[in-house]
Structure 1
């Protein structure tokens, strides 16, 4: 229950802004003095909780937000989890049409690359599969 016995309102996780990822592992991420358990999507409109838990769950629907915000994105980094898994060339077409380069790598490498690109004020978006190591 929330305040004064009111039902607790659950919302989708969302941080309205761009933020570097301070830490990852143990099934989640830390950023902007907050922590989030589970996977993340970082786009120009903010940082969102993201439902995929493994590379195989990264569907076209799961990446739709990237295409909706394509005007502010030149690079999409895909953090695949514990290891690199190539994003299929056949699925890159819609991103190329919008001028977005797609690069997949392990989540750790994607976080580091995202932070560097964000620090350079580059037009970058990222999706990160949560990992259990620290």
Structure 2
């Protein structure tokens, strides 16, 4: 499906998608990708939903490896603080159909205040384009639009 491209050409925009590709800025990708409005489009080393874990989501959100705070117990086990440049929301396109992510996978980012939404790749692409055009800090990770489990 072709999407309208009225946005700023300097921003990464999903311009089309199909059964075996995702097109960003009119460049077609035949593999899973993740990206933000600005910067590089990265290959996402995920083949299926089961490959997604908390570490993979941290990578997509642009968060480095966290080291546990040895003093966190003083704050009642407080969660890691969200960096200033972290996204507001992380969209995950799960292929042809929506597949929800397990709570143990999403909880570390949710605890930091980063929203995570899993939806079909088509819905994630459209939602990303809308949020990006509104100037929101959003990151999207998209599996190709085919059945994956």
Structure 1 gaps, min length 5 = 1-16
Check 1:27–1:74 CA distance in 2 against 1; reply closer, same or farther (3 A cut): same
Q: Residues of 1 paired with 2:146 and 2:101: CA distance?
A: 22
Q: Residues of 1 paired with 2:136 and 2:103: CA distance?
A: 24
Equivalent pairs, count: 117
- CA-based RMSD of the aligned residues comes to 2.1
Please give the secondary structure, in 2, of the residue aligned with 1:125: strand
In the superposition, the TM-score normalised over structure 1's length comes to: 0.76
Are 2:47 and 1:53 aligned? yes
Q: Are the counterparts in 2 of residues 82 and 131 from structure 1 also a CA contact under 8 Å?
A: yes
The alpha carbon displacement at 1:22 in A equals 0.5
Check 1:119–1:83 CA distance in 2 against 1; reply closer, same or farther (3 A cut): same
Please give the secondary structure, in 1, of the residue aligned with 2:108: helix
Check 1:78–1:18 CA distance in 2 against 1; reply closer, same or farther (3 A cut): same
Question: Equivalent residue for 2:105?
Answer: 91
Post-superposition CA distance 1:17-57 (Å, at most 9, x none): 74010011232211123121111111354321112122112
Please give the secondary structure, in 2, of the residue aligned with 1:108: helix
Out of 133, 136, 142, the residue aligned to residue 119 of structure 1 is 133
Identify the range of structure 1 (63-72 vs 89-98) with the bigger mean alpha-carbon deviation.
Answer: 63-72
Structure (1/2) with the larger strand percentage: 1
